[in-house]
């Protein structure tokens, strides 16, 4: 996702970042799609096509636009705190996405360490 940011000038518009064009390559990952299917509203197929329908919908774009506007105005500190992110993540879309990417990386490392510890205990 951070690679996508390189194509945007500041302030970054989250609606453009989350466009179908940018999201389509991510939707090729089945594991990501499976995690997102539960977020698709009732009445929409739980599939890649359904995800594309939601991402392309006016309500989704409006909600993301509101989030983008609030982030770029520095008005989302309470929201980012609820996500467990540093307050600086609420100061711009770019900082928000970087903070989320950092959090995902920490979670991956934590899971890997946990897996390594489990494997080490099994071999002892």
Buried b (16+ CB within 10 A) or exposed e, 86-98: eeebbbbbbbbbb
The range of the structural domain enclosing residue 106 comes to 2-123
What pLDDT score was predicted for residue 90?
92
Rounded to two decimals, the pTM is 0.76
Question: Rounded to whole angstroms, what are the CA distances from 84 to 72, 77, 99, 118?
Answer: 19, 11, 10, 27
Phi-psi region of 43 (alpha: psi -120 to 50; beta: other; left: phi over 0): left
Count of structural domains within the chain: 1
What pLDDT score was predicted for residue 24?
93
What pLDDT score was predicted for residue 1?
54
Q: Rounded distance, CA 58 to CA 46, Å?
A: 19
What pLDDT score was predicted for residue 110?
87
pLDDT tens for each residue of the chain, 124 residues long: 556 656 666 788 899 999 999 999 999 999 999 999 999 999 999 999 999 999 999 999 999 999 999 999 999 988 899 989 998 999 999 999 999 999 989 988 888 877 776 666 666 6
What pLDDT score was predicted for residue 12?
86
What pLDDT score was predicted for residue 14?
93
What pLDDT score was predicted for residue 68?
95
Cis peptide leading into 50, omega within 30 of 0?
A: no
What pLDDT score was predicted for residue 2?
56
What pLDDT score was predicted for residue 104?
87
CA 123, chain centre distance (Å): 37
Q: Residue 41 corresponds to which tokens in the numbers above?
A: 């509203």
């Amino acid at each position: 996702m951070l690679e996508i940011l390189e194509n945007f000038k500041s302030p970054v518009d989250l609606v453009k970042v989350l466009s179908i064009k940018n999201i389509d390559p991510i939707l090729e990952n089945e594991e990501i799609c499976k995690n997102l299917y539960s977020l698709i509203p009732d009445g929409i197929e739980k599939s890649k096509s359904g995800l594309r329908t939601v991402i392309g919908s006016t309500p989704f774009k409006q909600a993301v636009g509101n989030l983008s506007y609030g982030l770029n105005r520095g008005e989302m500190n309470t929201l980012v705190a609820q996500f467990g992110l540093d307050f600086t993540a609420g100061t711009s879309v770019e900082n928000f996405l970087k903070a989320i990417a950092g959090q995902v990386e920490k979670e991956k490392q934590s899971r890997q360490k946990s897996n390594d510890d489990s494997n080490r205990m099994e071999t002892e």
